[in-house]
Amino acid sequence: MFVYRHKINYYETDRMGVTHHSNYIRFMEEARIAYLDTVGASYAKIEADGVISPVIGVEGKFMHTTTFDDVLEIEVFVNSMTTFKLKLGYKMRCKGVEVFEGWSLHCFLDKEGHPLAIDDHYPQLRPKNQA
């Protein structure tokens, strides 16, 4: 299990002192990039290979608020993977309480914008329990 930690900055809160909802997408991205580094498929490597990996879908569910100085523990995991799409899941906790869960959906494209088979280029992304 991969867990990324993010400390809520003051500028990430709104007038009510609550973490603004738009930041959770950014937190997902931070955690995703750190996760990909650990499995050997860093964005730097992907881009050096001439590949881009756009987000083609995202969804989230807010369960509890966070505020300045809270530390989020963000679990990142492969939710599913098909030939052309990678769906990552996120569970965010603060002080042991689940505050957010969501997913992001990605594809991989070559320089001309053609879809790439993920397993052919980044087999390390395939979940261990998925053959």
* Domain limits, the chain: 2-125
Region 108-118: mean pLDDT is 94
What is the rounded CA–CA span in Å between residue 67 and residue 58? 23
Consecutive H or E run containing 33: helix 23-38
What pLDDT, on the 0 to 100 scale, is given for residue 30? 97
Which of 2, 97, 25 is CA-nearest to residue 12? 25
Angle at 42 between CA 37 and CA 45, to 5 degrees: 145
Q: Which residues contact 51 (CB under 8 A, 6 or more apart)?
A: 108, 109, 110, 116, 121
What pLDDT, on the 0 to 100 scale, is given for residue 60? 98
What is the rounded CA–CA span in Å between residue 8 and residue 69? 5
Q: What is the band of 77 on the pLDDT scale with cuts at 50, 70, 90?
A: very high
Q: Taking the model in full, what pTM does it have?
A: 0.92
What pLDDT, on the 0 to 100 scale, is given for residue 126? 82
Query: What is the phi/psi pair of residue 28, to 5°?
Result: -60, -45
What pLDDT, on the 0 to 100 scale, is given for residue 130? 54
Token output for 33 = 């990039």
**Mean of all residue pLDDT scores within the chain:** 94
The CATH code belonging to domain 2-125 is 3.10.129.10
CA Rg, the chain, in Å?
16
